[in-house]
Amino acid sequence: MADQQSDTINQMRHAGNMPLPETVALVLQGGGALGSYQAGVIEGLQGSGIGIDWVAGISIGAINAAIVAGNPPEQRVEKLKAFWDRMTSSLPSFPIFPNDMVREFVHEWSAGMVLATGVPGFFTPRLLPPNFAAPGSAGALSYYDSAPLKETLDSLIDWDLVNDGPVRLSVGAVDVISGNFRYFDSAIERLDARHIMASGALPPGLPPIEIDGSLWWDGGLVSNTPLSHVLDHQEHGMLVFQVDLFSAATEAPRTIMDVMAREKEIRFSSRTRQVSDQVMKLRQEREKIRRLLAKLPAAMNEDADVQALVALSAEQPVNLVQLIYKANAWEGGSRDFEFSARTMREHWEAGLASIDLAMSNAQLVTENILTGKSAAFDLCPKQGLKRSGPELD
């Protein structure tokens, strides 16, 4: 048995001393300007030698995901930096802030400038407000024009690599007419800039994107995490890095700016936590079914109901590492559209630090991968990874 386990370990890919299952997935939440935190995580994963097999995203997460899938590993960080440098190129950079009050003022001012002037290579304000545009026209459906984003995406992403390369890409969007949510998936269909833009077309700021006669809006309107899509289509043992941009738990608000920030955190993060919690709860229920089936006499193995339960309870192991951005005291409700260079770099460095801390204390994840067990892990400051629920066989 020991020799058999040793052979299995030797056949696995490794990132340093950490064995990797057959599929490593990266799941990226939406969150606008906070998405540079995800870019830092991606750089950290790259530096740790962890190869990505599947990347799924919503909104800004879809953009980061497409850049990962649409570039060879050695070019991904460079292309991510090019994207985020372009996004933050129009605002002045202030070198020193004496305190959080001044920083918060500059933070809100920078966000106000984005509302007034747009973001280079992403979106620009329309000349006329939507109320003055002809009903049904693109100008009547949004305050900004997202056409610059297509040029940006096309310049940074190799779409042939997205569709024919080794990394699977999935992005979520919602049908404007039916309200139905779906994933555009490179394993099923060919993707281009329209699908990424659709996943990030948050109304009323950005216009819906037409794809094959249908109009699509930001997938975050329905679900801000693609975790369920990835696990619903799991075929092998999997290690998932879920990178969230809004925290579910924080302190009570003390100002109206705190209220705006907290409302947005709850709106986006609660669904994410709900999905991950539900996923692990379902796995607990399937484990109970498997234990019950193991107690049945062999004579019942061919029973149709027993076979149906065997199929229902069968699953591959998954270990979920959840990395969540922790906002600074000076970041208010406009944090997701504050595209200043200094803030972007701080978010990026925070993401890099998070994955470095996670990988420095990944023994629990390593043990689960080697033993075929499943669990979810949260990253705790200064402590590293800790299980956020029970360990499952």
d(CA 258, CA 254): 6
In the numeric block, the tokens 């372009």 are attached to 86
- Name, in order, each residue with C-beta under 8 angstroms of 273's C-beta and a sequence gap of 6 or more: 248
pLDDT for residue 91: 85
Contact assessment for residue 244 and residue 327, using Cβ atoms and an 8 Å cutoff: no
What is residue 270's predicted lDDT score, i.e. its pLDDT? 54
d(CA 358, CA 378): 9
Token readout for 276 is 């991950």
pLDDT at 280: 76
Residues 18, 378: Cα–Cα separation, whole Å: 18
Residue 2 is predicted with a pLDDT of: 44
**Total count of residues recorded for the chain:** 393
Specify the pLDDT at position 124.
Answer: 97
**Per-residue pLDDT, 96:** 66
Closest CA to 355 of 241, 249, 247, 246: 241
Rounded CA separation 162/164 (Å): 6
Q: Which residues of the chain have pLDDT under 70?
A: 1-11, 95-96, 249-250, 269-273, 382, 389-393
Q: What would be the CATH architecture of the domain defined by 2-387? A: 3-Layer(aba) Sandwich (3.40)
Amino acid at 235: E
Domain assignments of the chain as residue spans, ordered by start: 2-387
